[in-house]
Structure 1
Amino acid sequence: MAQVLEFRLPDLGEGLTEAEIVRWLVQVGDVVAVDQPVVEVETAKAMVEVPCPYGGVVTARFGEEGAELPVGAPLLTVAVGAAAEPAEESSGNVLVGYGTSAAPARRRRVRSYQPGPRAADGVARPASSVAERSPAPADLGSAPAATGRTRRLTVPERPDGPVPVISPLVRRLARENDLDLRQLAGSGPDGLILRADVEDAIKASVAGVGGATAATVAVAAGPAASALADTPGTIPSAVAAAPRAAMRAAATAGTRIPLKGLRGAVADKLSRSRREIPDATCWVDADATELMRARTAMNAAGGLKISLLALLARICTSALGRFPELNSTVDMEAREVVLLDQVHLGFAAQTERGLVVPVVRDAHTRDAESLTAEFARLTEAARAGTLTPGDLTGGTFTLNNYGVFGVDGSTPIVNHPEAAMLGVGRIVPKPWVHEGELAVRQVVQLSLTFDHRVCDGGTAGGFLRYVADCVEQPAVLLRTL
């Protein structure tokens, strides 16, 4: 006899409490194997495929693409062949490196979900569990119809979870206009909210809810409000709840892009850095001709091709050994600067989903070949969207090669809670005085942005000058090999 097991969104680790459904990989009725990826989700740190620990037939899915679910919310249900305890049916893996499928014991309050009926699109809808704070039918007033009967308008109770809408586009439109979908009476089958319902509610809020006429009310709330068309002063709660923010949105032309997921996490971190870190920047031009020649000679010898980023990283780790103040963090509660023993080197990588900073662990123990291989692995994972939260956290110093964008200089923002970031511009031929004569040399601009709480300009300048010396004369590194 088949047993239906529920698979919930697993604990994603790193303090993450929710994820957005990007793409379903299975449909209701599909047969899935143990540990088969069933959904692709995006967190504030990475995009990952979530494998199902059960094998069987998918009987229901919870949440549409674009919906955000908290950890512990149901993802899908699976009918397994024989009745068994969940522990015996489960592989126990769930998501390698992301904890178990159970919600963490102590976490901020999350919404309660219960399975409900499925709509025509095969997506299971959560059952109503929490009544919205909408007026009772008696409070909404009544309107005499043509037959003399009394009709009452009520807004359907919405569960404290995903609201049934006809498409993710409708949900996005409501979100961009600060419209609460739970306050809308959908005009579609079984209360399904259509795009027209959202657009009408927005128009009604712009026109002014307080002075809306009965005709405007009927249009704004959809067909369900037609009974109130001849009752002055009666406004459906769907319209009354339309936010004033929608007026401001409609009055301002332009496209709104939600700051969520990876983009939102980057925005939060950069804002925090600007608020908390009193940063300063110094820069210097360096002749990189000899460094480029050294790299060419290394690669001519055969073996793994050494990347320029790896050589710059090797120079950074050597410099941090001489100036450990820049490989630190500030503990403001204890009012202490914490000098860190290991160098976990972050590097900025641009992807289609935005800027990410993968971290090379124990970079100070790696040679140029090892650094090259690790940079290549993390860069490929970043482009594929498969970086784990562990790949993106724990950095102690960041190397930002913005020269790949064709620019010479920049003033980077320190990657909180680190203390400094080295920026590297493009390497281009420029006139340069070399050995007393004017010559064309390969020149690069180096910039160091640092937390002025951890050191003064002398330390920062000494670090940057040492890096520039190693770029100009790579033999300087031989002293630290």
Structure 2
Amino acid sequence: MTTATLNEQVFRLPDLGEGLTDAEIVEWKVAVGDTVTIDQIVVEVETAKAAVEVPVPFAGTVLRLHAEAGTPLGVGEPLITVGATAPAAPEPAVVDAIAGAAAERYREEEQAGSGNVLIGYGTGHGPAPRRRRRRTAAAAPETPAPAPVAEAETEGQEEAEAHAPRVISPLVRRAAREHGIDLAALTPSGPAGVVLRRDVEQAAARQAPAPAPAPASTRPTPTAAADGIVRIPLRGVRKAVADKLARSRTEIPDATTWVDVDATGLLEAKRALEAAQPGRRVGLLALLARICVAGLRRYPELNSTVDTERREIVRLDAVHMGFAAQTDRGLVVPVVRDAHRLTTVQLAAELARLTELARTGSLPPALLTGGTFTLNNYGVFGVDGSTPIINHPEAAILGMGRVVDKPWVVDGALTVRKVTQLSLSFDHRVCDGGTAGGFLRFVADCVERPATLLTDI
């Protein structure tokens, strides 16, 4: 959304979708006095779900940055002011029309499962930015005159714009940069000739992957008072997690049940699978996910949600498996879509892919929502047990503690086995303790004797 006064255009924080109403400035990609082009990334912001890059919908000279890094802004608040240069910036009605068309393409991409995130409101085919100085400026006291542009340069720029690829998603641009992909060399597969993320991924698969950049820390900066009290702003992901957990505790009458399990057989199955698939790692979380999918088929009550307005239990068919992942930005829960359709090896690969995206802060909001059941491997923190909080609006969450050597009785004899604890928190509105206990016992039996899963194949 924009407003215009003479040659100045004010670009306001756009609607970032997914019900998000605000965002925090993480880093400006431009400074006052820089020349920007249509669809150039000008700022990185952090929402409650992900860090995203925002492009500007018109060209010109940066006159003012309306907020410093670390400042939260609401949707519709001024973000950046740009002084127009030839050709003139689009009228607000044109920008709104472009935004509507782009949003429609986003919905089509989302339904197709491309994983793209729509932030752009520009034409999607502007040339690469001339300068990208990484420094922060709050405002400009004076308006610098735009640099003159030679006629030959203008013609060359217009020609470049005419043949440049149409890219709506900033994440597509980021993925292309990370893999060293030339967007102009790709054949677009999206509607209206738009380059989609899958186009970049397919091109990346045909070449050696480039090393992923180290993620920048986006943790809130604490402030210390004279009395030694430290105050840390509750923003971004931390705020979203706090709100969701508080809502879960407020709305869901949860109960927790747990059991100690001999995981020796599961570890043996893990080694056997990896030996059968050289070069592929199959983690315990992937095996546990496969077991839980089978358990949810037997006990579908736990793959459901409660519609409080209609006072109905909504039982779901598809299993979208969420898993807790700790990152520099805090705790996030990526979601493996249609986990019930994946093999164990495919589950392992998808878990690894999503974990890497979470680690680098590249997870789009679409991959952080829509889960129906969650796994939490708190054993990686060196603890044995927990009472996990249900990820609202789901009905259950299964936690796994560390695997340690413990004395265990096998066939009447005392021996040392690999033992872990499984804990299940469930919504008591969707089922009683018998159903929850049956599910947990089935999971435990499969952990102890993985061959039990063969009965469901």
| TM-score normalised per structure 1 | 0.66
Alpha-carbon distance, 1:407 to partner: 0.5
Instruction: Pick one of 265, 280, 288 that aligns with 2:255.
Output: 280
Q: 1:349, 1:355 within 8 Å by CA — same for their partners in 2? A: yes
In structure 2, distance between residues paired with 1:330 and 1:4: 50
In structure 1, distance between residues paired with 2:305 and 2:272: 38
Q: 2:55, 2:119 within 8 Å by CA — same for their partners in 1? A: no
**Letter of the 2:287 counterpart:** L
Cα 1:124–1:367 change in 2 (3 A) is farther
Q: 2:55, 2:120 within 8 Å by CA — same for their partners in 1? A: no
**Letter of the 2:70 counterpart:** G
Match of 2:244 in 1: 269
1:141-152 superposed matches below 5 A: none
Cα 1:4–1:80 change in 2 (3 A) is farther
**Letter of the 1:257 counterpart:** I
1:410-449 superposed matches below 5 A: 410-449=386-425
State yes or no: 1:254 paired with 2:229.
yes
In structure 2, distance between residues paired with 1:423 and 1:122: 46
In structure 2, distance between residues paired with 1:40 and 1:357: 22
**Letter of the 2:34 counterpart:** D
In structure 2, distance between residues paired with 1:429 and 1:303: 28
Q: 1:54, 1:90 within 8 Å by CA — same for their partners in 2? A: no
Number of corresponding residues? 344
**Letter of the 1:259 counterpart:** L
Match of 2:167 in 1: none
Q: 1:326, 1:419 within 8 Å by CA — same for their partners in 2? A: yes
Alpha-carbon distance, 1:450 to partner: 0.6
- Offset from partner CA, 1:289-312 (integer Å, 9 cap, x none): 111111111111214221221111
> SS in structure 2 opposite 1:338?
strand
Q: 2:23, 2:46 within 8 Å by CA — same for their partners in 1? A: yes
In structure 2, distance between residues paired with 1:77 and 1:450: 50
Match of 1:85 in 2: 90
**Letter of the 2:52 counterpart:** V
Cα 1:33–1:442 change in 2 (3 A) is farther
- Offset from partner CA, 1:205-245 (integer Å, 9 cap, x none): xxxxxxxxxxxxxxxxxxxxxxxxxxxxxxxxxxxxxxxxx
Instruction: Pick one of 268, 276, 289 that aligns with 1:293.
Output: 268
Q: 1:38, 1:50 within 8 Å by CA — same for their partners in 2? A: yes
Cα 1:442–1:366 change in 2 (3 A) is same
Greater shift, 462-471 or 364-373, is seen at 364-373
Q: 1:11, 1:98 within 8 Å by CA — same for their partners in 2? A: no
In structure 2, distance between residues paired with 1:295 and 1:394: 29
Cα 1:383–1:85 change in 2 (3 A) is same
Greater shift, 27-36 or 413-422, is seen at 27-36
**Letter of the 1:460 counterpart:** A
Q: Equivalent pairs: percent with the same residue?
A: 63
In structure 2, distance between residues paired with 1:99 and 1:340: 31
State yes or no: 1:97 paired with 2:102.
no
> SS in structure 2 opposite 1:41?
strand
**Letter of the 1:37 counterpart:** I
**Letter of the 1:391 counterpart:** L
Q: 2:56, 2:120 within 8 Å by CA — same for their partners in 1? A: no
Larger Rg: 1
**Letter of the 1:57 counterpart:** T
Instruction: Pick one of 53, 56, 61 that aligns with 1:57.
Output: 61
In structure 1, distance between residues paired with 2:351 and 2:140: 42
Q: 1:11, 1:100 within 8 Å by CA — same for their partners in 2? A: no
Match of 1:386 in 2: 362
> SS in structure 2 opposite 1:123?
coil
Alpha-carbon distance, 1:332 to partner: 2.2
Alpha-carbon distance, 1:261 to partner: 1.7
Instruction: Pick one of 136, 139, 144 that aligns with 1:123.
Output: 139
> SS in structure 1 opposite 2:231?
coil
- Offset from partner CA, 1:133-172 (integer Å, 9 cap, x none): xxxxxxxxxxxxxxxxxxxxxxxxxxxxxxxxxxxxxxx9
> SS in structure 1 opposite 2:69?
coil
Alpha-carbon distance, 1:42 to partner: 1.1
Alpha-carbon distance, 1:36 to partner: 3.2
- Pairwise CA RMSD: 2.9
Cα 1:300–1:121 change in 2 (3 A) is closer
Gaps of 5+ in 1: 103-119, 126-171, 178-248
Instruction: Pick one of 27, 31, 52 that aligns with 1:27.
Output: 31
**Letter of the 1:458 counterpart:** G
Gaps of 5+ in 2: 1-5, 107-115, 123-135, 142-220
* Greater relative contact order (CA < 8 Å, ≥ 6 in sequence): 2
Greater shift, 328-337 or 340-349, is seen at 328-337
Instruction: Pick one of 318, 321, 327 that aligns with 1:351.
Output: 327
**Letter of the 1:330 counterpart:** V
Alpha-carbon distance, 1:51 to partner: 2.5
> SS in structure 2 opposite 1:337?
strand
Cα 1:54–1:90 change in 2 (3 A) is farther
**Letter of the 1:282 counterpart:** T
Match of 2:51 in 1: 47
In structure 2, distance between residues paired with 1:382 and 1:445: 26
